[in-house]
Amino acid sequence: MPMPLLRSSLKAAMLATTLLATGVAGLAVTVPPAQAEVPMQGYADLVAQVSPAVVFIEVTAQSQAPSGRAGNPLEEFLRRFGEVNPQFRLPEQPEGGQVMHGLGSGFLISKDGVVVTNNHVVENATDMRVKLEDGREYQAELVGSDPMTDIAVIRLKGAKDLPFVEFGDSEALRVGDAVVAVGNPFGLGGTVTSGIVSAMGRNINSGPYDDYIQTDAAINRGNSGGPLFDTTGRVVGMNTAIFSPTGGSVGIGFSIPANTVRDVVAQLQQSGRVARGWLGVTIQPMTPDIALALGLPGQDGALVAQVQPDSPAEAAGIASGDVISAVNGKPVTGRSSLPRLIAAIPDGERATLTVVRDGAERKLSVTIGALSPERVAAAPSDAPSGLAAPLGVDIEPLAPRLARQLGLPPNLSGVVITAVDPSGPNADRLGPGDVIAEAGGRPIATPRDLAAALREAQGRGVLLLKVIRDGDPVYVGAEVPGA
């Protein structure tokens, strides 16, 4: 995750309203969000057309954590964005977990009661009640869910002849297009807001398949799982997350594109799970310094930091330090686009990867595997930078091939600093390209080694680092705030 987000305490908040916690830290926004021009006839006809198919979900769930905060879905979500602001920590849970109640939104996609919503709305639910705009209520059961995209499908028991909406083509959206959100913010069912598409293809680091629509239509806690409509009444997105200093809307909301939702929902309805392709690499972002060292014209492509043993990537000859620039001819525009391209390829199918190695482009043929939960759990993190947040830096593993191309010994162990917060505690001590080889007298081979050294430094306020800078070792007394 980019350092400005870490150090500014920018947080993303799940929009399901819970009775346990509602505040989420964020970045203060002083400029009011831009508003889309309302058509002369307003949105009344559109709302009358689509709102009967928007539902409001009340969930009872059992906390999975036996005690403390571990395992809380909201705090886990926040953890992905850096350190949780202590001001907004969730209350302690009693032994044995705790019953939680939450509200969310969803939308009907069939007359027999199939509802699409967010996984975080219904996760660990022991009871789900769904209310329609006309007041009818139904018990619901889970059809299937996909935590990796935060999409779930539930079915209303005994439902028939219900109103429903259809998906539109999210690929056809343009920045500036008008959109309308309908949902259940703060339990206020039937709330309608409008705005524009502010950006496309946003990656907010909530998961490996981030590809969000950003909108300034006001969405708040409780809008989770609700639809984002275009002006024809088609669903073009599902509202999922916001950036906010208080948990309320400041005009920065994120929706999962309808094309992604449609594909995932189809698999969940068919088998209750989602099948994805697996390559078996850990990747890291391209920075200007790394692109320059590799002789690349820009920062597109995914840099391979590590190849998992016995993986399709290893069998195809992919090596650490390779830059994957295309999959079956489709360009890899950044680190986040590679997982989506690979995930869309069925297990057992062959794919052609365009790889840049030692300044030369080559084609590699790979047989894609199946991404299983065990492989997800075994895969090393591809976003380790948060482990060095106390130092005010972003870090990445130092792959041997990358070390050679940076002019470093190929057997050098350490982590390379890819960004430094200019307002951070070590802006005058550390710089991009520095390789941390030792911390507190212990060798550093992985980002987690550095995180362990930072924990051991608690109480001292300073940590002695051995840094390789321009090929020479330098010792740095790094400040560790709050230690």
The annotated binding site for substrate is made up of: 120, 150, 222-224
d(CA 339, CA 325): 13
* Active-site residue identified among 63, 145, 150, 336: 150
Q: What is the 3-state secondary structure (H, E, C) of the chain?
A: CCHHHHHCCCCEEECCEECCCCCCCCCCCCCCCCCCCCCCCCCHHHHHHHHHHEEEEEEEEECCCCCCCCCCHHHHHHHCCCCCCHHHCCCCCCCCCCEEEEEEEEEECCCCCEEEECHHHHCCEEEEEEECCCCCEEEEEEEEEECCCCEEEEEECCCCCCCCCCECCHHHCCCCCEEEEEECHHHCCCEEEEEEEEEEEECCCCCCCCCEEEECCCCCCCCCCCEEECCCCCEEEEEEEEECCCCCCCCCEEEEEHHHHHHHHHHHHHHCCCCCEECCEEEECCCHHHHHHHCCCCCCCEEEEEECCCCHHHHHCCCCCCEEEEECCEECCCCCHHHHHHHCCCCCCEEEEEEEECCEEEEEEEECEECCHHHHHHCCCCCHHHHHHHHCEEEEECCHHHHHHCCCCCCCCCEEEEEECCCCCCCCCCCCCCEEEEECCEECCCHHHHHHHHHHCCCCCEEEEEEEECCEEEEEEEECCCC
> Residue 149 in contact with residue 264, Cβ under 8 Å?
yes
> Residue 179 in contact with residue 228, Cβ under 8 Å?
yes
Is 150 one of the annotated active-site residues of the chain?
A: yes
What are the tokens at 57?
Answer: 């979900």
d(CA 139, CA 153): 14
- Residue 263's φ and ψ, nearest 5 degrees, are -65, -45
Known binding site: residues?
Answer: 120, 150, 222-224
For the chain, how big is the Rg over CA atoms in Å?
24
* Active-site residue identified among 198, 206, 224, 249: 224
Is 224 one of the annotated active-site residues of the chain?
A: yes
d(CA 230, CA 169): 10
Q: Which residues contact 287 (CB under 8 A, 6 or more apart)?
A: 299, 418, 419, 432
Placement of tokens 């509200």 in the chain = 103
* Active-site residue identified among 63, 105, 120, 255: 120
Indicate which residues carry an active-site annotation. 120, 150, 224
